[in-house]
Structure 1
Amino acid sequence: MDRTPPRQRARDIGHWLPDRHTATRTARVVLAAVSAWLAHRAASKGAALSFYMLFSLAPVLVLVISIAGIFFGAEAARGEIFAQIDGLVGAQGAAAIQEILAATHRSGGGRLAAAIATGILFVGATSAFAELKGSLDEIWETPAPQGAGWQQLLRARLLSFSLVLVLAFMLLVSLIVNAALAVVDRFWGQMWTQSWFAPVADVLSTAFSFGVVTLLFAVIFKMLPNARIAWRDVVMGAIITALLFSVGKRLIGLYLGNSAVASSYGAAGSVVALMLWVYYSAQIFFFGAELTRQYALQFGSLRGQSISPPPDPRAAGPANR
Structure 2
Amino acid sequence: MNSRLANNHLNNAMNLNNIKTFFKLLKRTGKKWMARGPFREGPIIAYYAIFALPGLLVVSISIAGYIFGNEVVTGELHAQISDAIGESTADSVQALLRRSLETEDSTWASILGFATILIGATTVFAQLQQSFNNIWEVEADKQKTGVWPFIKTRLFSFGLILSIGFLLLVFLLLSSLLSAFGNWIQQYFSESILILVKILNICISLGVITLLFALLLKVLPDAKIRWRAVWIGAFMTALLFVLGETALGFYFGTADPGSGYGPASSVVLILLWTSYSAMIVFFGAEFTRVYSDYHYGKREPSDHAQEKKSISTDN
Which bracket does the TM-score occupy, shorter chain normalised?
0.7 to 0.9
Offset of residue 185 of structure 1: 5.1
Aligned equivalent of 1:58, options 54, 58, 68? 54
TM-aligned CA distance change 1:5 to 1:106, over 3 Å:
closer
Aligned pairs (5 A) from 1:117-196: 117-145=113-141, 147-184=144-181, 188=184, 190-191=186-187, 194=190
Kindly indicate whether residue 311 of structure 2 is the aligned counterpart of residue 310 of structure 1: yes
Contact 2:175 2:201 (C-alpha < 8 Å) held by counterparts: no
Kindly indicate whether residue 275 of structure 2 is the aligned counterpart of residue 275 of structure 1: no
AA aligned opposite 2:311: P
Kindly indicate whether residue 16 of structure 2 is the aligned counterpart of residue 18 of structure 1: yes
Offset of residue 190 of structure 1: 4.3
2: distance between equivalents of 1:260 and 1:62? 27
SS for the counterpart of 1:143 is: strand
Q: Which runs of 5+ in 1 are unaligned?
A: 313-321
SS for the counterpart of 1:310 is: coil
Percent of aligned positions that are identical: 33
1: distance between equivalents of 2:170 and 2:260? 38
2: distance between equivalents of 1:226 and 1:150? 16
TM-score, reference length from structure 1: 0.84
Contact 2:210 2:234 (C-alpha < 8 Å) held by counterparts: yes
1: distance between equivalents of 2:157 and 2:217? 13
1: distance between equivalents of 2:66 and 2:256? 41
2: distance between equivalents of 1:208 and 1:258? 28
Contact 1:262 1:272 (C-alpha < 8 Å) held by counterparts: yes
TM-aligned CA distance change 1:165 to 1:113, over 3 Å:
same
Q: Which runs of 5+ in 2 are unaligned?
A: 301-306
Q: Which moved more, 1:191-200 or 1:83-92?
A: 191-200
TM-aligned CA distance change 1:179 to 1:307, over 3 Å:
same
TM-aligned CA distance change 1:123 to 1:6, over 3 Å:
closer
Contact 1:297 1:307 (C-alpha < 8 Å) held by counterparts: no
Deviation sequence 1:231-281 (CA, Å, 0-9, x none): 000011111111211211111112222214211111111221111111111
TM-score, reference length from structure 2: 0.86
Aligned equivalent of 1:81, options 77, 82, 90? 77
Q: Which residue number corresponds to residue 223 of structure 2?
A: 227
2: distance between equivalents of 1:9 and 1:112? 71
CA-based RMSD: 2.9
1: distance between equivalents of 2:89 and 2:262? 14
1: distance between equivalents of 2:262 and 2:105? 32
1: distance between equivalents of 2:242 and 2:15? 26
2: distance between equivalents of 1:133 and 1:304? 16
Offset of residue 197 of structure 1: 4.7
Deviation sequence 1:72-130 (CA, Å, 0-9, x none): 22222222222233333332442332243245347654332222111111111212111
2: distance between equivalents of 1:177 and 1:151? 38
Aligned equivalent of 2:43, options 44, 47, 52? 47
Q: Which residue number corresponds to residue 317 of structure 1?
A: none
SS for the counterpart of 2:223 is: coil
2: distance between equivalents of 1:194 and 1:258? 34
SS for the counterpart of 2:238 is: helix
AA aligned opposite 1:274: I
2: distance between equivalents of 1:199 and 1:37? 37
2: distance between equivalents of 1:10 and 1:109? 70
1: distance between equivalents of 2:89 and 2:188? 33
Contact 1:185 1:192 (C-alpha < 8 Å) held by counterparts: no
Aligned equivalent of 1:68, options 64, 74, 79? 64
Aligned equivalent of 2:289, options 293, 312, 319? 293
Offset of residue 63 of structure 1: 0.6
Contact 2:47 2:271 (C-alpha < 8 Å) held by counterparts: yes
2: distance between equivalents of 1:62 and 1:247? 27
Contact 2:139 2:308 (C-alpha < 8 Å) held by counterparts: no
Number of residue pairs the alignment of both structures matches? 306
2: distance between equivalents of 1:233 and 1:181? 31
SS for the counterpart of 1:48 is: helix
AA aligned opposite 1:60: L
